[in-house]
Structure 1
Amino acid sequence: MTSIEELLTRGELTVRGRIAGASNAVLLCTVRLDGATAECVYKPVKGERPLWDFPDGNLARREVAAYLVSQATGWGLIPPTVLRDGPYGEGMVQHWIEGIEGAEEQSPDGTLLALVEGEEAGEGWKPVAFAEVGEGRTALLVHADDARLRRLAVLDAVINNGDRKGGHLLPAPGGRLYGIDHGVTFHAEDKLRTLLWGWAGEPLTEEAVDVLGSLAGQLAEGAPLATRLAELITAAELDAVRERVAGLLRTRTHPSPSGQWPSIPWPPV
């Protein structure tokens, strides 16, 4: 049986259309190999818009690196993602996950993120920040106190995700939760911007500590994960990943905003 990674890597890509609204070129494709078929997203390097703080032409490689780290945690928080040649040159190809419309059954009122009146998040929710909602009014931005989101917050801290927006959370059938769009990751400087600050300063779960301990070993020089990551990100960025994991293990707490960089991405959704 053809694995999804093999299908994405070796299959014939057929472009079906472009996904509107993305800042970079994002193409919806079908991939076929030996009778197996799947839908996927193809982001060619040629379609990447330059960023002032990231090298040109390597956002696709960062997306693949994020997937590899996600797999190393055992949490499987990012859809299968590979780097390959396609109709418009080298790019990232990621398995298309059919999300749940409206994110039903994800939290008490059916959402992972919400705006609430008052200064208290309420049971089952974690506060993030106050937001202006017009006419001089503010509301409290909250996210669900959800174990899957908490794992994603740990992963984001490891990969230094600079763009964890609400629209990058993908609830899927079977209770799975995926994160997508990881091109702005792995910078050697602190760039963590996220809507998942609800656990900031709180102790990591025992599960997270165990996972980070295992990840530290997999990031050791010469280990297969470290060798693969060295092909995708710079040596300084790989060292920074190791340092972030070591720091999380040392403090055993979720990170807090540094104050040196905007802590919430814009736009937040």
Structure 2
Amino acid sequence: MSAPERIPPRSVTATDLLAHGELTVRGRIREASNAVLFCGIEYEGESAECVYKPVAGERPLWDFPDGNLARREVAAYEVSEALGWELVPPTVLRDGPHGEGMCQLWIETLPQDTAPELLALVDAEEPEPGWKAIGLAEVAEGRTALLVHADDPRLRRLAVFDAVVNNADRKGGHLLPAAEDRLYGIDHGVTFNTENKLRTLLWGWAGEPLPGEALTALSELTKSLADGAPLASRLADLITPAELDATRDRVAAMLDSGRHPSPSGEWPAIPWPPV
């Protein structure tokens, strides 16, 4: 009698782990404006660290529906994956110790002495090669300096992504340089508004032609956002129909212009505090 065929173990993906694992709260990240809990998570022999943001810990905002920020974080991850750039750490919506919330894989950032410099203040009127100007910032009474960001293709992808999801809060502290030359963006609760609320530190490419990889990614995203497409169906469970239509409109506008958007003048263009 022949031996039974061995069934290989099923690999556990990051989203499997986040969606089905057992959460253990280890502490709270105090600097955050909403409740952000640092957790351990285990599932089928795999373990990791993650961030859990319960809906119950969200502070109400005048321009976003109550109890909806966690879903927007998940929607941002879905769009990031559809663009093919993996800019947002794996993120799911699930029940946890304090009710429904967003659960996102914890990213271990590079030590400060080895992390790339992404933002800087310089005493100059124009940025040096390799840098893009954001604007003047007051650094002391009566003294200003030029705020710049790196002319980095990873940041440029984030600038395109932020324009798609209408990110109202792209601060320097939301940029996570990680191993293997990776750069992640986090904190996407204030996204997908139907009004133009883009606020970011990544204005250095404003008005410039979009790179070819961005035009290709946006064209593919258009297909993924079509009615009945899997991504559109998932987003329909996370944001409103009007917000989904507005997302389609933003993508179409960027493809039509072929350029990075510029500040509208109707909304503060740079978040405060910027870091």
Query: TM above 0.5, one fold?
Result: yes
In 2, Cα distance between the equivalents of 1:211 and 1:149? 15
Across the aligned residues of Structure 1 and Structure 2, the Cα RMSD in angstroms comes to: 0.7
1:233 is matched with: 239
Shift of residue 121, structure 1, vs aligned partner = 0.7
Matched, 1:61 2:67: no
In 2, Cα distance between the equivalents of 1:104 and 1:151? 22
Structure 1 runs (4+) deviating above 3 angstroms are none
2:52 is matched with: 42
Task: Provide the secondary structure at the position in 2 that maps to 1:101.
Answer: coil
Deviations 1:177-221 (A, max 9, x none): 000000000000000000000000000000000000000000000
Shift of residue 18, structure 1, vs aligned partner = 0.2
TM (norm. structure 2) is: 0.95
In 2, Cα distance between the equivalents of 1:209 and 1:146? 17
Gaps of 5+ in 1: none
> Residue 33 of structure 1 aligns to which amino acid in structure 2?
Y
> Residue 105 of structure 2 aligns to which amino acid in structure 1?
H
Give the paired residue count.
265
Shift of residue 135, structure 1, vs aligned partner = 2.6
Judge conservation of contact 1:103–1:112 (CA < 8 Å) in 2: no
In 2, Cα distance between the equivalents of 1:97 and 1:103? 17
Task: Provide the secondary structure at the position in 2 that maps to 1:102.
Answer: coil
2:252 is matched with: 246
1:74 is matched with: 84
Task: Provide the secondary structure at the position in 2 that maps to 1:49.
Answer: coil
1:2 is matched with: 12
Task: Provide the secondary structure at the position in 2 that maps to 1:174.
Answer: coil
2:214 is matched with: 208
User: Structure 1 residue aligned with 2:36, among 18, 26, 32?
Assistant: 26
Mapping of 1:94-113 within 5 angstroms?
A: 94-102=104-112, 104-106=114-116, 111-113=117-119
Task: Provide the secondary structure at the position in 1 that maps to 2:127.
Answer: coil
Judge conservation of contact 1:66–1:159 (CA < 8 Å) in 2: yes
Task: Provide the secondary structure at the position in 2 that maps to 1:84.
Answer: strand
Task: Provide the secondary structure at the position in 1 that maps to 2:164.
Answer: helix
Shift of residue 104, structure 1, vs aligned partner = 2.7
Task: Provide the secondary structure at the position in 2 that maps to 1:199.
Answer: coil
> Residue 28 of structure 1 aligns to which amino acid in structure 2?
F
Q: Kindly, what percent of the aligned residue pairs are identical?
A: 70
Matched, 1:256 2:266: no
Mapping of 1:124-139 within 5 angstroms?
A: 124-139=130-145
Judge conservation of contact 1:8–1:93 (CA < 8 Å) in 2: yes
> Residue 16 of structure 1 aligns to which amino acid in structure 2?
R
Deviations 1:92-121 (A, max 9, x none): 000001001227352xxxx10000002111
Task: Provide the secondary structure at the position in 1 that maps to 2:48.
Answer: strand
1:158 is matched with: 164
Mapping of 1:162-241 within 5 angstroms?
A: 162-241=168-247
Residue 172 to residue 250, structure 1, CA distance change in 2 (3 Å): same
Answer with 1 or 2: which has the greater Rg.
2
Judge conservation of contact 2:115–2:177 (CA < 8 Å) in 1: no
In 1, Cα distance between the equivalents of 2:233 and 2:172? 32
2:127 is matched with: 121
